[in-house]
């Protein structure tokens, strides 16, 4: 196994929450599935998000500078597949989306969502690292179940009773 294959294999064992990143603005509405999302600090609330520059959404994020991190629940497996598949015609169809502070689409029923503006952007290898200033946090009022990507597959996660 070469170094990058070994790295990818190791990363498949690092479980991560599944999100759909969305944007809207002058470059139009786009969205994609992502698990490379991480907290940087809560003062000021900041996330980092890693997006492959080969992805079609990449140009839209850099032009719009808006990005909503929609955290998915167990009932969003199909949605997650659609936002990761190049073949899907309209990824947004069949769900309810609302614009809040930045105008990036917020998914109704997301476990939680972070409505952000993209600040600093760093290029590292194949990816851009977006440092995202959180303008608003939207917490789901319903039951919270998580969706985790681990071992190259989806797994449900329930909060302790
Ligand atoms: C569970 C999962 C997690 C993913 N995480 C990321 C990620 O963090 N960053 C990324 O660039 N692509 C990630 N992808 C791949 C993109 O979702 C995929 O390449 C998508 O088709 C890109 O869409 P676009 O080309 O329309 O932007 C992930 C895919 C899956 C299934």
Please identify, by atom number, the ligand 1 atom nearest to the C-alpha of residue 149.
Answer: 1
Residue 98 lies in a domain: yes
Domain that holds residue 63: 8-151
Please identify, by atom number, the ligand 1 atom nearest to the C-alpha of residue 86.
Answer: 21
How far apart are the CA of 129 and the centre of ligand 1, in A?
14
Residue 66 lies in a domain: yes
Using pLDDT thresholds of 50, 70 and 90, give the confidence band for residue 1. confident
Q: Confirm or reject: Cβ of 51 under 6 Å from ligand 1.
A: yes
Cα–Cα separations (whole angstroms), residue 147 to 4, 76, 80, 104, 156: 26, 8, 10, 22, 5
Radius of gyration of the chain (CA): 15
How far apart are the CA of 161 and the centre of ligand 1, in A?
32
Residue 156 lies in a domain: no
The residues facing 137 across adjacent strands are 114
Q: Please give the Cα distance from 45 to 61 (Å, whole number).
A: 19
Q: CATH no. for residue 112? A: 2.30.110.10
pLDDT of res. 143 = 66
Please identify, by atom number, the ligand 1 atom nearest to the C-alpha of residue 154.
Answer: 1
Q: Please give the Cα distance from 106 to 35 (Å, whole number).
A: 17
Q: Confirm or reject: Cβ of 54 under 6 Å from ligand 1.
A: no
The mean pLDDT value for 23-31 works out to 98
Residue of 32, 78, 92 to mutate, ligand 1, most atoms within 8 A of C-beta: 32
How far apart are the CA of 124 and the centre of ligand 1, in A?
16
- 92 close to 30: Cβ distance less than 8 angstroms: no
Residue 3 lies in a domain: no
Residue 78 lies in a domain: yes
Query: pLDDT tens, 138-154?
Result: 998 776 899 999 999 99
Residue 158 lies in a domain: no
The mean pLDDT value for 78-94 works out to 92
Q: Confirm or reject: Cβ of 33 under 6 Å from ligand 1.
A: yes
The mean pLDDT value for 131-144 works out to 89
Secondary structure (DSSP) of 70-97:
EE--GGGHHHHHHTT-TT-S-TTTTS-E
Residue 160 lies in a domain: no
Q: Please give the Cα distance from 130 to 117 (Å, whole number).
A: 10
The percentage of residues in the chain with a pLDDT greater than 90, rounded to a whole number, is 91
Q: What's the full length of the chain, in residues? A: 161
Domain count, the chain: 1
The mean pLDDT value for 18-43 works out to 98
pLDDT of res. 144 = 80
Q: Confirm or reject: Cβ of 149 under 6 Å from ligand 1.
A: yes
- As a whole number, the mean pLDDT across the chain is 95
Residue 91 lies in a domain: yes
């Amino acid at each position: 196994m070469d170094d990058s294959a070994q790295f990818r294999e190791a990363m498949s064992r690092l479980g991560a929450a599944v999100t759909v990143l969305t944007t809207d603005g002058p470059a139009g509405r786009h969205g994609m599935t992502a698990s490379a999302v991480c907290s940087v600090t809560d003062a000021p609330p900041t996330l980092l998000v890693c997006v492959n520059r080969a992805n079609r959404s990449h140009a839209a994020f850099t032009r719009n500078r808006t990005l909503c991190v929609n955290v998915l629940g167990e009932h969003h497996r199909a949605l997650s597949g659609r936002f990761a598949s190049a073949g899907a015609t309209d990824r947004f169809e069949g769900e309810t989306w609302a614009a809040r502070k930045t105008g990036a689409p917020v998914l109704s029923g997301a476990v939680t969502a972070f409505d952000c503006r993209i600040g600093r952007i760093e290029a590292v290898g194949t990816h851009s690292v977006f440092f995202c200033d959180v303008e608003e946090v939207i917490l789901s009022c319903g039951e919270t179940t998580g969706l985790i990507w681990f071992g190259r597959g989806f797994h449900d996660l329930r909060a302790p009773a």
